[in-house]
């Protein structure tokens, strides 16, 4: 994992993490190797910290189609 990848993962908002998870192109290197493991652990931790209501609100804000919350 590069320092740039670690920094992005650690500093990204819940919405940014969800958006990347949903809309990144296939093969995005952020999902492979050590970076991928760190990303998934960070998402899980943020989800637990946020709680169900905040996580659901973030998910709805991101939406399921690019450009449409």
pLDDT of residue 64: 86
Q: pLDDT-based confidence at 16, cuts 50/70/90? A: very high
Of residues 65 and 52, the one with the higher pLDDT is: 52
Q: pLDDT-based confidence at 65, cuts 50/70/90? A: confident
pLDDT of residue 67: 59
Look at residue 39 and tell me whether its pLDDT is greater than 60: yes
Q: Mean pLDDT throughout 26-50?
A: 94
Q: Is 9 exposed, middle or buried, given 0-12, 13-18 or 19+ CB atoms closer than 10 A?
A: buried
């Amino acid at each position: 994992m590069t320092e740039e990848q670690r920094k992005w993962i650690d500093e990204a908002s819940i919405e940014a993490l969800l958006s990347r998870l949903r809309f990144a192109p296939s093969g995005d290197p952020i999902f492979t190797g050590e970076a991928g493991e760190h990303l998934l652990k960070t998402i899980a931790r943020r989800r637990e910290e946020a709680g169900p209501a905040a996580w659901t609100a973030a998910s709805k804000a991101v939406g399921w189609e690019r450009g449409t919350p």
